[in-house]
Amino acid sequence: MSYTTFEYADLQIEKSSITTSDSTLVRCKITNSGRLAGDEVVQLYIHDEFASVARPVTELKGFQRIHLNPGETKEVTFTINSEMLLMLDIDLKKVVEPGDFRIMIGASSKDIRLRGILEVR
């Protein structure tokens, strides 16, 4: 719980299409839109849109705690690599399946502020 408010904006996925062994950067800007200084925990979630086996609706893959003064904006960067996209297939082997992955950034899994799609080929 914070005594100030934060705005999330400008989601950028450096490479919107990667191979199963590649990585990419995801950036967004967080602004303290309130009147008091405060901390925000920016969270990165990933969802496999078309997995061959059942997967969680959202998987927490990263987070960063940032401190912002009133009116201050910071850019937050996450690296998405193949290890973050791994799953166990039907034979319980680790695999990165090609397809679309929904990238979600927010203050919690119930408070997603930014969304984008990463294609893995």
Q: What is the pLDDT of residues 29-70, one digit of tens each?
A: 999 999 999 999 999 999 999 998 988 889 999 999 999 999
The stretches of the chain forming alpha helices (DSSP H) are: 82-85
pTM of the model: 0.93
Class of domain 6-120: mainly beta
The CA-atom distances, in angstroms, between 1 and each of 41, 48, 84, 107 are: 10, 30, 28, 10
Q: What is d(CA 111, CA 27) in angstroms, rounded to the nearest whole number?
A: 18
Domain-by-domain residue ranges, the chain?
6-120
Residue 62 φ then ψ, to 5°? 180, 160
Q: What is the pLDDT of residue 1?
A: 64
